[in-house]
């Protein structure tokens, strides 16, 4: 089992995260706020507590204007029938359209101390894992990410799929990435994605204990599932009490400190905008508490890339031990990968969920916020 570790991954996307679902003045306002205020403030909360995070940034916004995208095969989703780059200002740049471009933000994050990791949140935020996504487009997205990484001098290691729809892993590995954020391991078991989403909102309301995760290998990549997403506070979600949100986060810290494993928290800097500064205050309190634990040596705070590296070197050590065991007659050889990847949370932690019809209908309304 991994020694007590906290990982924070952030999906930084400005307008790229929502334009295919909704694109209006509010989205532009949220994205501009994130560019000018939200992301710099969040970075400051991290650095002032001496913490590092993985910033998974949409590749196309890492430059100050849109690069040549003619090498990306078109993708046609039923929910967005226009050409994918329709809304992106072709002649615009970061100065005129900070809701789309964030080269200076990336620069600011790269210069921060302690060091932050720049990961990729795809190149154009086209969702993978949907029927319309082709292998050709997926490979081209990876290729474009690798190209931006080369131009900026970033070693591409960590990848976060748009909307956490995981697909084309082998191709991701072939593009040179090392790890990805896998789907959340949730404490509530439901039969489908919508029910799981409803269950997770309920978990926020009641401040349920989050699950700890363990990395594992998938298609040669290190899979790092999420433990808890800090949910957008717009619409009906503003009724989730701040105290309940903070309680879940501090319970996660308590569990990882006592039981070990990895507490993987993730969210969108964009989502700090609604009801500001409520959610920022929750995040600031959480980071302060985490910073204290790290200073006391009770937990580590690693980026996704650092955790993947640590996991691989642990596997290499265990491989050496296993090969030595093979040459000895008695002890039973253990499957070290399975052992390392064993779930920290026992079955007893899984809570079956029952919702009243009224609550279920009130929380299954239109999703909002950056994804």
11 binds Zn ion per the rule CB under 5 A: yes
Cβ atoms within 10 Å of 37's Cβ, excluding its own: 16
Rg (CA), the chain: 21
Footprint on residues 151-170 left by Zn ion (CB under 5 A): 162
Which of 11-19, 29-37, 45-53, 126-134 is the region at the interface with Zn ion (rule: CB under 5 A)? 11-19
Q: How far is the CB of 370 from Zn ion (least distance, A)?
A: 6
Q: How far is the CB of 16 from Zn ion (least distance, A)?
A: 7
Q: How far is the CB of 337 from Zn ion (least distance, A)?
A: 30
Q: What are 196's two structure tokens?
A: 């799981």
Residue closer to Zn ion by CB (options 270, 280) is 270
Residues with Cβ < 8 Å from 258, sequence gap 6 or more?
A: none
Quick note: the x/- pattern for Zn ion over 168-207, rule CB under 5 A, is: ----------------------------------------
Q: How far is the CB of 88 from Zn ion (least distance, A)?
A: 16
Closest residue to Zn ion, judged by C-beta, is 17
**What is the bridge-based pairing of β-strands 54-57 and 117-120?**
parallel
Residue closer to Zn ion by CB (options 208, 229) is 229
C-alpha to C-alpha distance for 134 and 132, rounded to whole angstroms: 6
# of chain residues touching Zn ion (CB under 5 A): 5
Q: How many residues are recorded in the chain?
A: 371
Residue closer to Zn ion by CB (options 196, 259) is 196
Q: How far is the CB of 31 from Zn ion (least distance, A)?
A: 12
Footprint on residues 45-104 left by Zn ion (CB under 5 A): none
Selection from 132, 126, 108 nearest residue 36 by Cα = 108
Q: How far is the CB of 17 from Zn ion (least distance, A)?
A: 4
Residue closer to Zn ion by CB (options 17, 210) is 17
C-alpha to C-alpha distance for 356 and 269, rounded to whole angstroms: 32
Cα–Cα distance list, 325 to 227, 328, 338 (Å): 35, 5, 17
> Residue 80 in 3-state DSSP?
strand
Residue closer to Zn ion by CB (options 54, 345) is 54
Cα–Cα distance list, 41 to 11, 37, 46, 195, 273 (Å): 15, 6, 9, 34, 11
C-alpha to C-alpha distance for 68 and 76, rounded to whole angstroms: 19
Q: How far is the CB of 341 from Zn ion (least distance, A)?
A: 26
C-alpha to C-alpha distance for 65 and 59, rounded to whole angstroms: 11
Footprint on residues 12-41 left by Zn ion (CB under 5 A): 13, 17
Q: Which residues bind Zn ion (CB under 5 A)?
A: 11, 13, 17, 162, 371
């Amino acid at each position: 089992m991994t020694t007590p570790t906290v990982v924070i991954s952030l999906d930084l996307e400005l307008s790229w995260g929502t334009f295919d679902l909704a694109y209006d003045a509010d989205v532009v306002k949220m994205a501009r706020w994130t560019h000018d205020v939200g992301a710099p403030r969040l970075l400051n909360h991290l650095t002032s507590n001496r913490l590092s995070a993985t910033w998974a940034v949409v590749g196309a916004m890492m430059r100050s204007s849109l690069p040549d995208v003619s090498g990306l095969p078109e993708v046609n989703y039923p929910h967005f029938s226009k050409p994918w780059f329709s809304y992106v200002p072709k002649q615009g740049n970061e100065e005129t359209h900070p809701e789309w471009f964030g080269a200076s933000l990336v620069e600011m994050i790269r210069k921060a101390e302690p060091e932050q990791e720049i990961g990729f949140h795809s190149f154009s935020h086209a969702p993978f894992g949907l029927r319309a996504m082709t292998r050709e487009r997926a490979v081209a997205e990876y290729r474009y990410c690798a190209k931006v990484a080369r131009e900026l001098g970033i070693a591409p290691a960590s990848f976060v799929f748009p909307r956490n729809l995981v697909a084309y892993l082998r191709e991701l590995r072939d593009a040179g990435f090392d790890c990805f954020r896998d789907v959340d391991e949730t404490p509530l078991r439901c039969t489908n994605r919508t029910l799981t989403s409803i269950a997770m909102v309920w978990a926020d309301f009641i401040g349920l204990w989050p699950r700890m995760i363990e990395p594992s290998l998938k298609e040669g990549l290190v899979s790092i599932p999420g433990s808890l997403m800090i949910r957008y506070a717009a619409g009906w979600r503003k009724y989730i009490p701040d105290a309940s949100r903070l309680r879940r986060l501090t319970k996660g810290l308590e569990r990882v400190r006592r039981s070990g494993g990895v507490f993987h928290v993730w969210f969108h800097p964009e989502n700090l905008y609604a009801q500001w500064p409520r959610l920022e205050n929750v995040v600031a309190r959480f980071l302060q508490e985490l910073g204290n634990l790290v200073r006391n040596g009770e937990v580590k705070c690693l980026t996704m890339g650092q955790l993947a590296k640590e996991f691989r070197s642990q596997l290499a050590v265990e491989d050496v031990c296993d090969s030595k065991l093979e040459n000895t007659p008695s002890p039973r050889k253990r499957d070290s990968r399975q052992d390392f990847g064993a779930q920290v949370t026992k079955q007893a932690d899984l809570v079956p969920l029952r919702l009243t019809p009224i609550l279920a209908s009130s929380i299954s309304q239109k999703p909002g916020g950056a994804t």
